[in-house]
Amino acid sequence: MTVPRRWPLLLVAALALVAAGCDKTIPPAPPTAGGSAQTSAATPTTAPAPAAADYCTLAERISTESGVMVNKHFIPLRTETLDMFKAIVNLTLAVKDQLAASVPDDIRAAFAVALPYFQALKDANFASNVPPPAGFVDANKAINDYGVAHCGFVFDQ
């Protein structure tokens, strides 16, 4: 029996198109060796167009912070806890605006399916009777497949 792919990445990302005001942001990545986290005043203030890397970085940070990912590998589903799942939902919703700005066009529709579900789960205090919307399974698969193909994520069994 194979362990089904889960929805953390979707959560992670799913994130973008339902407006439920949350102001939190994920802090910037720490500086790399020899680099600096600070930017100079000469840095342009216009944000570059969203790139897959931006989305991948956010998705990886949320997954790692929630405990479901280590070194771009999602932990086996059977070891994921409810607290980890709740962290994914909460962290995703907290940065939904950032995710909305970075979500690649090829999975934007999938996020539009997933995000309202995450909000509904949170609003219902993660009750088990919150039904996923129509198309959720396909949306989740699209997001997971994107993460594997473009972000280098791996789903460990």
DSSP 149: I
- What integer pLDDT is reported at residue 79 of this predicted model? 94
Residue 96: CB partners within 8 Å, gap ≥ 6?
15, 16, 17, 18, 20, 22, 115
Domain boundaries of the chain, sorted by first residue? 8-19+50-155
pLDDT in tens, 86-134: 999 999 999 998 988 899 999 999 999 989 999 999 999 999 999 999 9
pLDDT(58) > 70? yes
- What integer pLDDT is reported at residue 101 of this predicted model? 87
70-106 burial code (b ≥16 CB/10 A, e <16): eeeebbebeebeeebbbbbbbbbbbbbbbbbebbbee
pTM of the predicted protein model: 0.68
